[in-house]
Structure 1
Amino acid sequence: MTASSQPRVLSTNIAAPFPCPTGEDRLTGICKQPRAVLEVFIPGPNYGDGPGVRGDVVGDTKHHGGADKAVYAFAREELDYWGKLNGSPYTNGTFGENLTTKGISWSEVVINQRVEIGTALLEVSVPRQPCRTFAEWLGQKGWVKTFTAHGDCGAYLRVVEPGEIRPGDELIFRTPPAHGITMGEAFAAKMGDKELARKVYEAACLPKHHHDQLARLLR
């Protein structure tokens, strides 16, 4: 984990739903707008059980929502990187994140590491997998490949203890699990790197659904 200063929340964001840019007959919650406070809670266990942020919206209920994707965090530093590369400055929440953070590299946090934010206790859970909606929203051809190659997907977080999170709250990381598998490694594994998929699979640190996906990749 690297940080130029104490990691903190820069912006707390909730969806401003609009029609899905892929043309599917549903809304998308990928565009998020800053709010003064997030109330986070433990949603149901499965995709389609909704987000873990009060008032937020999940459009793609087949692949999003549920306890392992309760809250999504992305670094302001990464928004700046992509904004410069794509020639399109990105505001907080543009990548669909509930928490825009400062001073933390999410690719270096360890899977299942816990973090205190505000009055809530969260836990690093699973990687984001870039999709067509993400690409269409940004208007970037080849976006899935480009985003994957860079290697920092942000982080989904599960809620261990509900609470409230506000801009300015510090991120206090607890001792990482002994397996040492980072979010960056889990992301690369999920996106097809078989060497890392073997490493992540053997660590057995991901939820069953994601663990089973790695098993199929390795067959």
Structure 2
Amino acid sequence: MDTATLLAVCRVHQLLPDEGSVGVTAIDKRPVEGPVKVHKLGVHGDVQASRIHHGGEDQALYAYSQVDADYWVGQLERELPPGIFGENLRVSGIETTGAVIGERWKIGLDVEVEVTSPRVPCAAFQRRMGESQWVKRFTEAGRVGTYLRVIRTGSIQAGDHIHRLFVPSHGVTIGRWFSTPDVEAMEALRDAEADGEVRLQPEYHDEFEKLLRRVGS
């Protein structure tokens, strides 16, 4: 088992007015001190302003790695503290974009999570960052981090160890699916789901259909 570290646990600091359809955004995440409970919908006290585009049990937590944050520090030439990307978990020593879909982690003593899907950048994220063409830049860099499903609830805090418990054999990573979804990856994911190795979000099947239409056209 690999061991990594949870650097920070973040939750919404304040809801901000937003130009989107909901009218507010919960992207202003900031670190909290001490133990924090994690339930099926994420960090206790956090908010999912819109569950149409993200949120729900399949996207209960968003994790971003320090190595990717450091990349953006170099690109943007400014500090990027935990929570700035809207992440709930800033982690070190474990890949988020490089995580295999369906991979499971244990965080601290109790919490178990499962890697589900890549983060797709949105306009609210661009407004939060205040960077020109941010959605385009974030997408092209492919350092998107991962959403997590909570398998076992409990409490976590900064400094907790993260243990990789299980890695599916299909090998399709969050980054690969986000950047270059292809038929080979699709078939690997479908086979893994059929074998009970992963539980894919419904959105994957929508993407499968789009991919097949594109290939067949």
- TM-score category (smaller protein): 0.7 to 0.9
Residue of structure 1 equivalent to 2:30: 33
- Does residue 211 (structure 1) correspond to residue 205 (structure 2)? The answer is yes
Select between 197-206 and 132-141 the one with higher mean Cα deviation: 197-206
Considering fraction of residues, name the structure with more strand: 2
SS at match of 1:108: coil
SS at match of 1:106: coil
The two structures have a TM-score, normalised by structure 1, of: 0.85
CA distance in 2, matches of 1:183, 1:155: 7
CA contact (8 A) 1:20 1:133 kept: no
Q: 1:184: Cα distance to partner?
A: 0.9
CA distance in 1, matches of 2:201, 2:44: 24
- Does residue 12 (structure 1) correspond to residue 9 (structure 2)? The answer is yes
The two structures have a TM-score, normalised by structure 2, of: 0.85
Residue of structure 1 equivalent to 2:111: 120
CA contact (8 A) 2:20 2:124 kept: no
Count of paired positions: 201
CA distance in 2, matches of 1:38, 1:210: 31
SS at match of 1:125: strand
Q: 1:83: Cα distance to partner?
A: 2.0
Report the CA distance shift for 1:163/1:90 in structure 2 as closer, same or farther (over 3 A): same
CA distance in 2, matches of 1:80, 1:146: 15
CA distance in 1, matches of 2:201, 2:182: 14
Residue of structure 2 equivalent to 1:201: 186
CA contact (8 A) 1:19 1:28 kept: yes
SS at match of 2:55: coil
Q: 1:9: Cα distance to partner?
A: 0.3
* Per-residue CA distance 1:62-112 (angstroms, 9 max, x = gap): 212111101111012222211221122111111011111112221221111
* Correspondence for 1:153 among 144, 148, 151: 144
* Per-residue CA distance 1:19-65 (angstroms, 9 max, x = gap): 2443655221111111123311123xxxxxxxx22110112232121
Gaps of 5+ in 2: 194-199
Report the CA distance shift for 1:23/1:112 in structure 2 as closer, same or farther (over 3 A): closer
| Percent of paired sites with the same residue | 36
Structure 1 runs of 4+ with >6 Å offset? none
**Structure 2 counterpart of 1:70, one-letter code:** A
Give the alignment of 1:83-122 within 5 angstroms. 83-118=73-108, 119-122=110-113
CA distance in 1, matches of 2:9, 2:103: 21
Residue of structure 2 equivalent to 1:75: 65
CA distance in 2, matches of 1:154, 1:113: 13
Question: How much is the aligned-residue C-alpha RMSD, in angstroms?
Answer: 1.8
CA distance in 2, matches of 1:210, 1:20: 31
